[in-house]
Chain A
Amino acid sequence: MTQEHLAKLNSIDHASLRIARKYSEGLGDNQMTCLVFTTEMRTLQGTYPLLMQQIEGHPAPLPLALLGLEKSENLFLDESDLGWRTETIPLMMQKGPFYIAKEQDSTGVTRNIIALDERHPKLGLESGERLFSDAGGYGDHLERIIGLLETIEASHPHTLEFSTMLDALDLITPLDFKFTLNDGSAHTLTGFLGIDEERLQRLSEDTLSSLHQKGFLLPLFMMLASQSQVSRLLALKNDKV
């Protein structure tokens, strides 16, 4: 997402703008992964494999949910009204084309503003839910999105610290593997990282307790538990072939 497409959200320019609440490939939801935050790992772990990936420009790998097994594949998209087959959906997918951006006001103070990607396929004038009410106030959906953005903003630093810590403790292990689908086709998943269970078990009591104090232990175990969801993705993909 380049900054150029981002505009500051306001009730004048965006008065009649509508947002599609559905998920679909056409609406840009065909992502293989999405970033996740420590605060949501507990709810996500029963549905998605929570792995990590080294992302350019970041010193430590970042946690993400695996949504598909190849590029531009999201196995959670379906034909239902919502277009998403499960109840829990990662924050980054729910928030759609909205962002929190920084703005400096005339006094030089930086504050958060809401920005949106005006070219995003979920936004339009014809269909979907209006962002603003007739009176110019936030609509229900937008209200909810703003709540999500605030959660994201709040958990972002914790998540970065979390991944830096995991990296420093060498708890991250490459997860490369090949698998064969029912139709006999062979595929490879590579470039992802998981939690190294053996190393986790060897951590000293002191380390464990400091992980706990920092609120890292729970998300760590959630990530570990979530790894069994890779099998769910395989099953979903097998259903497709």
Chain B
Amino acid sequence: MNASPHHIVILGGGTAGWLVAGVLGAEFDTSSIKVTLIESPTTPAIGVGEGTWPSMKSTLLKIGLSERMFLEECSAALKQGTHFKNWLHGKGETYYHPFTLPHGFGEINLADHWIRGHLGDQSFASSVTPQFAVCEAGLAPKQLSVPEYAYTLNYGYHLDAGKFAAMLSAHAVNNLGVEHVLADVTAVTSRENGDIEALVTDKGPIAGDLFIDCSGFRSVLLGEHYNVPFVSQRHVLFNDSALAVQVPYGSDSKIATTTKSTAHEAGWIWDIGLQHRRGVGAVFSSAHASAEAIEPQLDTYLKESGSASGLSEFEPRLIRFDPGYRASFWHKNCVAVGLSAGFIEPLEASALVLVELSARSIAQQFPKTRQQMGTVAQRFNAEFLQRWEQIIEFLKLHYVLSQRDDSAYWIEHRQAASVPTALTEKLADWCHRCPWHLDERRVDEMFPSASYQYVLYGMNFKSELGKDSRRHSEASLARAHALKAEVDAQSSRYLQHLPCHRSLLDKAIAHGFAG
């Protein structure tokens, strides 16, 4: 069995399945590699997952979609980062984790100077990037005259998950030659070597060379068929439930340009603004609170955030998940992408970016022979295990830094036994040193050290740097002052010239960018 793999079969038509189909369809010529996607006509996709990273810009570009069309068809908005509230004390305090790196990040570590008080007494984010001021003012991260996918300040998206999958599907089928089969997979037939030979469906068997399991939480191939063990992370990140609602805009129809993440005593609430509605959901731990106990939290949030009606007017959807991931993702001739590979609470919207990275990795390393597939699988597994660990450490950081003590939920989150060793070590190190490029030991670090800075210093982490004994410290100080002055100048320039978020979206949809 050494013919070159030429038929890729994707199981699942949620966001993961269609993103993978789009990336592979754009990468390969249909005459050499054929892509088929099987989707159950009866099992719906999960329908949540509406915040992305900036990486989605390049993914859409690669798939060959115009940004104007994407914004229109997915009712999408531009996301410049996350705005955290009540995470530190629960007393109304806020901070930003913006997508733009601190000014001059490649050259100098402004955090060093901010900690020493050299940049004044404003918050970390507002001292190092104009994106702070722009987010506060609710302005767009670019002007209409900036071309598609290019940006003045970096951004990702807020999108309607259902519309997104539909748009990707139409494009993949109509323009990229992806075959779409609506059928339920009921069984799997195997080859002697344990490879999957075909997926048996109510429309007949579908054979293939590589099977991509995008079947959602059920994990039909990797989980149910291969029984690849599940590595639970419940002891680190307790959240396993979400109560989600879709909220129409009230009288104030301003579209936020960040994901709002508001903590309460038993978890936190996401708030994602699209063009036509908001997506709001409470994430919590069933071990600490019941859905009934969470409802009042969500109700209060809705009322306080401008919704015309409270929770009773909506039909909240309760979603349960098991926090964790599979021990390996690529097994035999099957690789899982999306929820079938694992899921951790959506605190930093890291699920879709993992899908994008997986799709890219599969496209780039696509094995030429079955034999080579083993090597590719090993590399893929090593890479993505590392990514899952990085995500878990970074998410846990938000809880470890919290000083909330209003419930067992928050206190238990800080118990040493629940904190990954690697994170404990990093925190000990950062007591004396601000994270910077040195911390990106691996080229493929999921979260740049800048992200760590924004969260650490947004949450009052104290790095005790001591006296700066370096010889160049004076030059460095002068440079830091100059950069800070540039941040201030940029902030006022952008405040003056960047359009309001909704007006940019309306115009971009009507006329296109750079028009």
Contacts and interface: CB of A to CB of B under 8 A. Distances in A.
Given A227-B515, A228-B512, A230-B145, A173 B497 contact: yes
B146 A196 contact: no
Given A178-B154, A197-B144, A198-B499, A228 B514 contact: yes
Interface in B139-170: 142-152, 154
Contacts of B515: 225, 227-228
Interface string A178-204: 111010100000000011111000000
Contacts of B61: 180, 182
Q: Which 4 residue pairs of A and B lie closest in terms of their CB atoms, listed nearest first?
A: A179-B150, A227-B145, A173-B497, A228-B515
A32 B217 CA distance: 53
Contact of B513 (A174, A184, A231): A231
Count chain A CB atoms within 10 A of each CB in B146, B503, B513, B514 and give the residue with the most.
B514
Nearest to B496: A173
Contacts, number: 59
A230 B514 CA distance: 7
Interface string B52-70: 0000011001000000000
A179 B57 CA distance: 10
Interface in B464-515: 493, 497, 499, 503, 507, 512-515
Contacts of B499: 198
A234 interface: yes
B507 to A, nearest CB: 8
A175 interface: yes
Nearest to B512: A228
Given A198-B499, A227-B515, A228-B512, A234 B150 contact: yes
B152 A231 contact: no
Nearest to B513: A231
The DSSP consensus for interface residues of chain B is loop
A54 B150 CA distance: 23
B514 to A, nearest CB: 5
Report the contact-size class of chain B (Cβ under 8 Å from the partner). 20 to 34
Contacts of A174: 493, 497
Contact of A179 (B147, B493, B507): B147
Nearest to A224: B145
B514 A231 contact: yes
Contacts of B57: 180
A177 B154 CA distance: 9
A191 to B, nearest CB: 12
A176 interface: yes
B514 A176 contact: no
A187 B493 CA distance: 21
Given A179-B147, A180-B57, 19 more contacts: A173-B497, A174-B493, A175-B145, A177-B147, A177-B152, A178-B152, A179-B149, A179-B151, A180-B150, A194-B145, A195-B145, A197-B145, A225-B515, A227-B145, A227-B515, A230-B146, A231-B513, A234-B147, A234-B150
Interface of A: 173-180, 182, 184, 194-198, 225, 227-231, 234
Contacts of B147: 177, 179, 230-231, 234
A177 B150 contact: yes
B144 A177 contact: no
Contacts of A177: 142, 146-147, 150-152
Nearest to A173: B497
B149 A175 contact: no
Contacts of A228: 512, 514-515
Given A194-B143, A230-B514, A176 B152 contact: yes
A230 B147 CA distance: 7
Contacts of B148: 231
Contacts of A234: 147, 150
Nearest to A180: B58
Interface string B184-208: 0000000000000000000000000
A75 to B, nearest CB: 14
Nearest to B504: A198
Nearest to A187: B150
A236 to B, nearest CB: 12
Contacts of B151: 177-179
Contacts of A175: 143, 145-146
Contacts of A196: 143, 497
Nearest to B145: A227
Nearest to B494: A174
A180 B61 CA distance: 10
Contacts of B512: 228
Contacts of A227: 144-145, 514-515
A180 B497 contact: no
A73 to B, nearest CB: 16
Contacts of B152: 176-178
Nearest to A235: B147
A15 B38 CA distance: 78
B488 to A, nearest CB: 15
Interface string B277-292: 0000000000000000
A231 B58 CA distance: 16
A179 B149 CA distance: 7
A68 B224 CA distance: 55
Contacts of A180: 57-58, 61, 149-150
B287 to A, nearest CB: 43
Contacts of A230: 145-147, 514
A105 to B, nearest CB: 48
Nearest to B498: A173
A227 B512 CA distance: 11
B360 to A, nearest CB: 10
Interface in B106-158: 142-152, 154
6 contacts: A173-B497, A180-B57, A180-B150, A228-B514, A229-B514, A231-B513
